[in-house]
Structure 1
Amino acid sequence: MNANFETKLMQLLDQNKDEIIKIRRYLHEHPELSFHEKKTSEFIENYYRDLDCQVRHCGDDYGIVVDINPDKPGKKLAWRADFDALPIQENNELPFKSQNPGVMHACGHDGHTAYLLVLGKCLIQLKDQINGSIRLIHQPAEEVTPGGALSMIKDGALDGVDDVIGIHVMSTMPTGTVQLHAGATQTGRANFDLTFTGKGGHASMPQLSNDAIVAGSYFVTQLQTVVSRRLNPFDVGSVTIGSFDGAGSYNAIQEQVKLKGDVRVMNEATRKLMKKNIKQIIKGIDVTFGVKSELNYDDNYPVLVNNQDLTKKVENWIKESKIPEVTAVKDSGVVNASEDFAYYAQKKPACFFYVGCQPEDGGIYPHHSPKFMMNEDCLIICARSAASVISHYFA
């Protein structure tokens, strides 16, 4: 590769910095839910229409794969960004506030798409200087199981790829920081829906009923023993009941309650252990309270495992580039949330890293919150960090 490639790429990104912000704000105004991102997908496809690259739809719905130098010999690097929004009513007063009621880009995926689009355009302008090929993966439906990654992988998104990399902006990390972690990095996830059905009746005659609320309440209490008494204290796991639906009246014993639960783990052996013990507790509740349970247990996103060697290289490359906007490159430690990028990491050596986007006032505006906010300075950091990695990768 030309020794000046990185310099030229950084200059192009600087010239197009305002376009990244413009795209991000447009996408923020027009969010679409997972598996329904028709207009966003069209926007992405149209952006590349007149550029010298190959573009195709990928996956079951709205995924887009862009190939730069598809037939050029050498290594092939894939770079992924997601573009779905969340079913959240935005509670921010912004000139580019969501125009779609009840839908919001509350996780930064609008920013992911904006930086990758402009980075892609700049890479295409310099494609003759790249000693290999680059595949840009624009993925829908990260937020909702089964996620968009699986169908894209099935449809060839990783065919011929040597390594795959992605970035997530993080409002809990200071703007200016780039953070990453080698090995198991983000939790694996499972969700379950559970119904207990007993026998309803009058509150004055409990002996004639089997109270589903009492059964459900015992389940919630006993559930915590899975973590406190079944897991090795050095393993990581959590289980949460996010919904308990047993609404009724003062003097009626409920016949049925419905619960929704969330499970997080940091290794797949823990996943199996927690599922087994949750099922055992449910069986015990059935017998003890004379109720009948119905469980729908969805094992979905795996633990995200960053390749040790690739992640160390990414860290060193970003440090070597001395990006002006980057104040620190450091280990993030493990990250609580789950990510369907983990499916890519199961197939190819992968690195998924983080760029801080904490607003200037120093406040924490959490992801998936109606007041989620990002410092848009993070977007040029995303683009420049990616440019650094790509420049070194093909050197």
Structure 2
Amino acid sequence: MKKVHSVLLEAEKIKDWMVEIRRDFHMNPELGMEEFRTRDKIVEYLQEMGIEYITGVAGTGILGIIRGREDGKTIALRADMDALPIQDEKAVPYRSTVPGKMHACGHDAHMAVLLGAARILKGKQEQLKGNVKLFFQPAEETVGGAKPMIEAGVMEEPRVDAVLGLHVTPEIPAGEIGIKYGQMNASSDSIKIILHGKSSHGAYPQDGVDTIMMAGQVLTSLQTIVSRNVDPRSSAVVTIGTINGGTQGNIIADKVELVGTVRTLDSDTRSLVISRIEEIVTKVAEAMGGSAQFIREEGYTALINTDKIVDIVKANAEKVLGLDKVHVLKQASLGVEDFAYFAKESPSAFYRLGCRNYKKGIIHDAHYCLFDIDEDCLVIGAALQVQNVLSLLEEEQWSY
């Protein structure tokens, strides 16, 4: 019989406590920058554990810190706090009690894992050579709380040497994890295209400049960016999600608005795609006798893991869970994750924590009204984060 790793046993002892925390958060979800009850509950738990903390970080964010017995590195662990505007349709006792709001992306689990890891690490405080920072971050799903937390100084005094994050995923069974070297998540940009033409009666199209036709040409031309301008070995997505224009079926439309998103995995491709969109939009409009406005709103940066830190996470997971429980992911996600801003500041690793369980019917994707997790994953997440911190605080394990 395989011997169970000691840190897994420690996490198993507090499983019921973590489940209780997760279910409380799940029943009381709050949207980004509205996480007031969530903040207050986290503060209660930190106070009960005797962990030093600061509130009001980037709004509803919290910074906790566990100071070791002597100086050393500082490792940060991050959990996001916000829920989504989705109606919870699950038939479970811990179903959301707030109409139209739900933890449909697992942030309730992330907070429970971080509090579990904090409890175990607090018990080892006298053994720690260095510090552990706890980032409870608001608004990952909306405006992004990571960058404001960094601007508020959470990476300094003491300076964070490495930062770790995780995200539950139903793509992987509970008890297993997925790691990714290098590029983990894409960058994002929101785009708005406003086409201007000239209105006229539909019976006399020669007197107008038709922005409906112009929009059709723009849409067709935008599809050539990925297929003909982006290196096939790179990745990019250009999606137009809404199109609005016109007032009557017999009137040539003088204005059309298109709104979409761009996803890329590296800065060069990002610049190329944005440049080509603006060029196509402007020149197609001019060629058809109209004009165009192109508005770009820069979103999250790409999340790029540090290979040496991923190596440590991989080694720990193989030791704690077993070799067959660790999956090396080959492809990056074109979804975005604002942990990327922490990753830009310090060496980092962000990994996937499996939460699927077919036997329990836990099979639904995130951002869906039936999303749930196998709560056994809370034990796995807490244990791994503790072991990762302990390894990273050992001087001989890595250096930068």
2:390 aligns with: 391
Moved more, 114-123 or 305-314: 114-123
TM-score normalised by the chain length of structure 2:
0.90
Contact 1:59–1:148 (CA under 8 A) maintained in structure 2: no
Distance 1:363 1:30, change over 3 A: closer
Distance 1:306 1:176, change over 3 A: same
2:154 aligns with: 157
1:296 aligns with: 295
Distance 1:296 1:103, change over 3 A: farther
Using the TM superposition, give the Cα deviation of residue 327 of structure 1 relative to its aligned residue in structure 2, in angstroms: 5.3
SS of alignment partner, residue 357 of structure 1? strand
1:81 aligns with: 79
SS of alignment partner, residue 217 of structure 1? helix
SS of alignment partner, residue 316 of structure 2? helix
In 1, the alpha carbon distance for the partners of 2:126 and 2:136 equals 23
Residue 329 (str. 1) matches residue 323 (str. 2):
no
Residue 273 (str. 1) matches residue 276 (str. 2):
no
Q: What whole-Å deviation, never above 9, does each CA across 1:337-363 have from its counterpart, x for those lacking one?
A: 111111111110000011111232577
AA aligned opposite 1:193: K
Contact 1:176–1:327 (CA under 8 A) maintained in structure 2: no
In 2, the alpha carbon distance for the partners of 1:225 and 1:331 equals 32
1:368 aligns with: 367
Choose the corresponding residue for 1:27, options 25, 30, 38: 25
Q: What whole-Å deviation, never above 9, does each CA across 1:347-381 have from its counterpart, x for those lacking one?
A: 10000011111232577422222332322222211
In 2, the alpha carbon distance for the partners of 1:194 and 1:211 equals 15
AA aligned opposite 2:135: I
User: Matches of residues 100-179 of structure 1 in structure 2 within 5 Å?
Assistant: 100-145=98-143, 147-159=144-156, 160-179=159-178
Choose the corresponding residue for 2:350, options 352, 359, 362: 352
In 2, the alpha carbon distance for the partners of 1:215 and 1:359 equals 49
In 1, the alpha carbon distance for the partners of 2:254 and 2:85 equals 31
Q: In percent, how many aligned pairs have the same letter?
A: 32
In 2, the alpha carbon distance for the partners of 1:171 and 1:207 equals 55
Gaps of 5+ in 1: 1-5
Q: What whole-Å deviation, never above 9, does each CA across 1:186-242 have from its counterpart, x for those lacking one?
A: 111111122223333433332233222222222222111110111111111111112
> Aligned residue pairs: how many?
386
2:235 aligns with: 236
In 2, the alpha carbon distance for the partners of 1:26 and 1:228 equals 47
TM-score normalised by the chain length of structure 1:
0.91
SS of alignment partner, residue 118 of structure 2? helix
Using the TM superposition, give the Cα deviation of residue 58 of structure 1 relative to its aligned residue in structure 2, in angstroms: 5.2
Gaps of 5+ in 2: 395-400
Using the TM superposition, give the Cα deviation of residue 85 of structure 1 relative to its aligned residue in structure 2, in angstroms: 1.4
In 1, the alpha carbon distance for the partners of 2:312 and 2:184 equals 16
Q: What whole-Å deviation, never above 9, does each CA across 1:73-109 have from its counterpart, x for those lacking one?
A: 0111101111111222333333222222222211111
In 1, the alpha carbon distance for the partners of 2:246 and 2:21 equals 45
AA aligned opposite 1:149: A
Using the TM superposition, give the Cα deviation of residue 71 of structure 1 relative to its aligned residue in structure 2, in angstroms: 7.7
User: Matches of residues 254-273 of structure 1 in structure 2 within 5 Å?
Assistant: 254-273=253-272
Using the TM superposition, give the Cα deviation of residue 248 of structure 1 relative to its aligned residue in structure 2, in angstroms: 4.5
Moved more, 83-92 or 358-367: 358-367
AA aligned opposite 2:149: M
Using the TM superposition, give the Cα deviation of residue 249 of structure 1 relative to its aligned residue in structure 2, in angstroms: 4.1
AA aligned opposite 2:154: A
Using the TM superposition, give the Cα deviation of residue 247 of structure 1 relative to its aligned residue in structure 2, in angstroms: 6.5
Q: What whole-Å deviation, never above 9, does each CA across 1:114-143 have from its counterpart, x for those lacking one?
A: 111122122212211222210011101111
AA aligned opposite 1:157: V
User: Matches of residues 58-77 of structure 1 in structure 2 within 5 Å?
Assistant: 59-69=57-67, 72-77=70-75
1:3 aligns with: none
Residue 17 (str. 1) matches residue 15 (str. 2):
yes
Distance 1:114 1:275, change over 3 A: same
Contact 1:196–1:291 (CA under 8 A) maintained in structure 2: yes
In 2, the alpha carbon distance for the partners of 1:121 and 1:90 equals 30
In 2, the alpha carbon distance for the partners of 1:37 and 1:327 equals 38
In 1, the alpha carbon distance for the partners of 2:212 and 2:126 equals 67
User: Matches of residues 181-330 of structure 1 in structure 2 within 5 Å?
Assistant: 181-246=180-245, 248-322=247-321, 328-330=325-327
Superposition RMSD in Å: 2.1
